[in-house]
Each structure stands twice: as C-alpha cells, then as structure tokens.
Structure 1
C-alpha cells in the first residue's frame, strides 16, 4: 500500500506532459504547504473523509476559502488517480465538497475616477515611492494589465516599432498569449525608463535579488500610507479601465474584454472565434488604449482645480 505522498508525486509525473511547468510548481507548493503536514505520510488505507478534510478545515479557519477549495480539489484528484490505478477501492475525498465552505469572490476595491487625481497626488507627496516603482505603477494604469504581468515584464516582449507588448502564454493567468496595444504615453515612458534601467532583461528588476523582478510590495505598502488604503488596489485599476470604457458607450464589449485578456474572450469563447476576434479588433483595441491613456494622463498629472479628495 502506498502513502498519499507517493501517489501525489506519481500523479504529478502523470500530469507533466499536459500542464505547464508553472502549474506543476503550484501543485507541489499546495501539497507541501497544506496537505503533507496532515496526510502526506499516511497510507491510503488509513485516510478516511474525517482525516482528508483536516487540511481543508485548517485553511477555512484561517479564512483562506479559495486555497481550501483548491486543496480539496487536489486531494480529490489524487484519490481519483489512485482509484483508477487500483491503489484504493474508493475515494474518501469525493464527499468533501458537500462539507466544505464555498469561496465567495470579492472584487478588488477601486475608487470613482473623480478621486484618482488626488490618489496619485498623495502617492507622490505622502509616500517615498521611488522612480522604479512609480514607472511600474503608471504602466499598470496605462495598460490595465494584471500587476504580476507588469512586474515581470521583459524588454524582449516589447516591440517599440509596432507599439505592442507581447506577453507569452506562460506568464498569463489564462495561459493564452496576449498582446497589449501600447499608447503613445506608455511607449514614451518605457523609452525614457530604458535609458536608466539597470537591467537588459527585466523592465522592473529587483534591487535586492539578482536576476529577479520586483514583487510590488513597496507599491502596495505605499498605497496604505494614503487616504485610499483599502479603497484602491493595483488590481482595481483593471476595474477602473473596464468601468470607464463601458460607461463611455464608445466601444464594443468584445473589444473591451480583449484589451484586458478577460475570460469571456478566452476560456468561454470557441477556439476559432477567439483568434478571429483577436485579428478583427486589433485596430479598435489600439484606439481604446490610446483613448484611455489620454484620460489617465489627466489623473496622473492633474491641475490643482481638478483635485477632489475622498475625504471632502
């Protein structure tokens, strides 16, 4: 009889040809951090549903329901594999879904556009954010991209001639390559930043870890020093972009969703339609990103009479 750990790594090897290296790394992390301490060394025959639920309950008690659901699914899939190869005669984790807390998605906070000029003013005046992190913050705003995608941006991904940022599939949440149309403001900022950037590889290199990029913790901590702590987040700028575009009634829904590589244009759409739309909306995507950058420029560098504080 095999232990749960032995079966997990056998299952992990079984997945090696069908999932990305990053996903395999995530599965090992989930196992080692959340599952191994509870059931890793136990034989499959020793694990019933009362024991299998222990790592899930620990995460639920910590308020980590999203992670607990991911761990439950992993335990269930490992036992499914064990049952398939005749290591056990039933799956004790198959009923855990009924006893687990559901994860409720909470949207990342973001403020009304009216207050964004004051937000950026406070970021400049109330924090010690340096040039490296300021440029990264502005790029998050101008591209409406996920913060980790911006922090890991590489110079080789940027085509200054076509004004495009080509993000490979491995770095995308959806695991589908994505092209961001860069506005004139974004291109100018990147060109100026390249002249003083300390790395030829990462656009935003870490100053403390060799061959690594920044994590964004300094930007997030800086936001906490302003009056917009817990009111505006980095991911919230994607919501700002989406809301601004939809409320304008100027652009088609498909084009807006393509700009931010949303699931409705990747996972849910038919494979052939997805690529057809990428070609069809390329011009409109470029128009949207330039239109939005022109608006965002007013938030980043406002006139004094445009400042309205959230405390007013």
Structure 2
C-alpha cells in the first residue's frame, strides 16, 4: 500500500521550484499542484465522472492568484457537486455558456446593436450615444435584457431627474423603451418594462422656440440681418433661415451636392430629416442669388456652411443663435428655430396660403385623404409660388413697405 502524502502547506507551495520536466505535488482527495518548467504552478483536481466512471481533470486556478486555501475550497465545491451526481466539468461548461449568453444579451450589447441600425443625423447620434454611455450603461448595461425590471429603468431616470435633466431623462427612457422593443423583436426579451413607467418621471416644462410673428418687427430683424457685420457665411445662413424656414440642423448640414441651382431645388436626403423622409425645398430667386454669392467661398468643400475650425465639419449648432444675440435679439424674442414659427404664422394668418401647403414645406407629417403620407414633390408648383411669394414679402418688409394686417380667422 503506497504511503499517503502529507497535505501541502503554504510554504511548500511557495518554495516549490521548477524542474526540467513538469511534476505534481499532491494535496489529497485528488487535488495536486502541477509545477511546470517555466515556473508556473497550476491547481488540478482528478475525479471520475458520475455516470461513465471515466477519469477527468478539473482546473482549479493558478498559484499565487489562487491560494492553497482557495484551491481547497474549489475542490470541496466540486466534490459536493459530484456527490449530488453532477459532473463538475460539465457544470462549469454550462455556467460558462450561460455567462456568455448573458453577456451577448446584455442591455448594452443589444442597445449598441440597435443604435447601429439607426439612420440619424450624426450630431443626434453622438448625443444619444453620450446619454447611454453616461447615464445608462454604467448602471444596467451589463444586465441581461430579459431580466431588467421597471424599477431599474426608473432609477436611471431618477438619477437624471435629480440633477435637473428632466427633458433628457424622458428622452433616455424613450430610447431605452425602443431598445427593449428591439430586444423583444429579436427574441431576447418577452416584455418592455419601460412601458410601465408612464407618469413616473416629472414632466418637463413645455418649451417654445421664441419667434417674431409681428410683420413690422420682422422687418426690423431682416434689416438687422442685412446689416450684419460678422462672418459672411453666418449672414447667408441667417438670410436663408428666414427665406427657407427649414430646421436649423438641416440648414447647417446642407451640402453643395444636394443643391441644384439651375433647377432651383434643394433635395435633403431622408437621413438628415426629423421625419426620416426626403424633403424638397424649392429655392426662390433670392435664395438662389445668395447661394451663387456663397459658392466661391465654400463651394469647393462639402458643406454650404462649413465650421470655423474645420471645413470638414458643418457650422456650429449655436452659430445662428449667437448671431441673433449679437444683433440684440434675446432668447425670449427670436431663435434659429423660431424662423419656422414666424413663417408658419404669417404665411397662414397674414398672406392666406393654404395650411397644407405650409405644413408640407415645413416637412411636417401630412397625409392624403386615404391616410397615406404625401411624397416630397406633393403640391410642388403651389409650394414654389408660395416660397417666391414669401421671399418677395420679406423683401417688402425689409424695405419698410406696408405690411398686411392680420386676418381674423373664422371661428
């Protein structure tokens, strides 16, 4: 009968020296320390599978990261599984597979996958990704989407609410809800707990973009723009904001490749539009003239309004608002976005254009009598006339001509 080896001690493990060939130092109950010629020391446990009785080996870790005490604890855990008829090796494989599946179906993985499929304008994509990276992933990013609950999403929103970012909190939770719907569609979750949070976060204060709707006051603004002494491209952006009343982001991201001066058209691709539908902007004579003057300055680059620091980036999103402030128009009087409200109000209430023509030109969602969305060329002849009429009206206001009084609407 072979002599039973004494159990290892911490000092014998520490002092074990490598030899020309690997050798084993037994500790008892099937566990031993394997010492390799390169000096590495690995804990191993030999056992027999519960059904087949075949011998197998289980790795328990490497020394010194796994101490003698910890290796023994792992051995006893494995022996307990074996006593219950469970193969410790197969159990480990199953745990690893489950962990990999959990990682592959974590909220962050699913969210990044969903974000990669969105066709947002770049500046909005950057904003959403920053929200998720700063306010969501650190808290629930590693959690499997199938296990997330409404209170976990609520805590995400509450953290943002407590620092005063109420509007952003609503947008972040809306994005989380979209990610969860994608998780359901791809078979990685059964329900969307974000839907249970309706009313749980304080509503943001209603925000209106300040806009001038008095024709006489608008005339003063147009004269201030004409006399603007700042950057030439910024003045052109101000002029086109008034003439075309597109969204500020659409204007500053305008590219020369989208503009056909001969046809007097600006074709904005769907990826740059809020409603994700391509939009056609008829260019009035005044807009074409401004673009012709601007082309020698920026026409060699991509953007009609390039940034001041790099021509490969568009103008700053604050450039137009900053110019308005420089001219003396405060945030409570006029904003870059306010040119849209200005045009909508005066075209309807002063000049009497059909509301559906105006809504089309504003790129709002407008449907035909059958409930289908109109295409980008709907009412194009009428919209061309309206845009030219609007430009001529602005010229008259800037020159200080008579303004048409507001009509009293029926009802």
- Output the TM-score relative to the length of structure 1: 0.81
State the 1:29 CA deviation: 3.5
**SS of aligned partner of 2:374:** helix
Q: Which structure is higher in strand share?
A: 2
Residues 78-89 of structure 1: pairs in structure 2 closer than 5 A: 78-79=179-180
Do structure 1's residue 274 and structure 2's residue 374 form an aligned pair?
A: yes
Distance 1:78 1:259, change over 3 A: closer
Q: What are structure 1's unaligned runs of at least 5 residues?
A: 307-312
- Which of 241, 244, 249 is matched with 2:346 structurally? 244
Mean Cα displacement is larger for which, 216-225 or 136-145?
A: 216-225
Mean Cα displacement is larger for which, 216-225 or 148-157?
A: 216-225
- The equivalent residue for 1:297 is 395
Q: What are structure 2's unaligned runs of at least 5 residues?
A: 1-98, 404-411
Mean Cα displacement is larger for which, 190-199 or 176-185?
A: 190-199
**SS of aligned partner of 1:202:** coil
Mean Cα displacement is larger for which, 24-33 or 84-93?
A: 84-93
CA contact (8 A) 2:245 2:343 kept: yes
**SS of aligned partner of 1:264:** coil
State the 1:78 CA deviation: 3.9
- The equivalent residue for 1:35 is 136
Q: CA RMSD in A?
A: 3.4
Residues 133-152 of structure 1: pairs in structure 2 closer than 5 A: 133-152=234-253
Distance 1:132 1:254 in 2: 32
Distance 1:165 1:88 in 2: 43
CA contact (8 A) 1:65 1:102 kept: yes
Distance 1:155 1:43, change over 3 A: closer
State which structure, 1 or 2, has the greater radius of gyration over its C-alpha atoms. 2
Distance 1:97 1:91 in 2: 12
State the 1:13 CA deviation: 2.5
Mean Cα displacement is larger for which, 93-102 or 44-53?
A: 44-53
- Which of 103, 106, 109 is matched with 1:9 structurally? 109
- The equivalent residue for 2:382 is 284
Q: Which structure is higher in helix share?
A: 1
Distance 2:344 2:294 in 1: 27
- The equivalent residue for 1:119 is 221
Distance 1:81 1:124, change over 3 A: closer
Q: Which has the higher contact order (CA 8 A, sep 6+)?
A: 1
State the 1:134 CA deviation: 0.5
Distance 1:150 1:45 in 2: 42
- Output the TM-score relative to the length of structure 2: 0.63
State the 1:42 CA deviation: 4.8
Residues 148-297 of structure 1: pairs in structure 2 closer than 5 A: 148-197=249-298, 199-230=300-331, 231-248=333-350, 250-265=352-367, 270-271=371-372, 274-275=374-375, 278-297=376-395
CA contact (8 A) 1:140 1:150 kept: yes
**SS of aligned partner of 2:352:** coil
State the 1:156 CA deviation: 1.2
Distance 1:113 1:99, change over 3 A: same
- The equivalent residue for 2:119 is 20
CA contact (8 A) 2:120 2:272 kept: no
Mean Cα displacement is larger for which, 2-11 or 211-220?
A: 2-11
Distance 1:138 1:47 in 2: 50
State the 1:265 CA deviation: 4.8
**SS of aligned partner of 1:179:** strand
- The equivalent residue for 1:309 is none
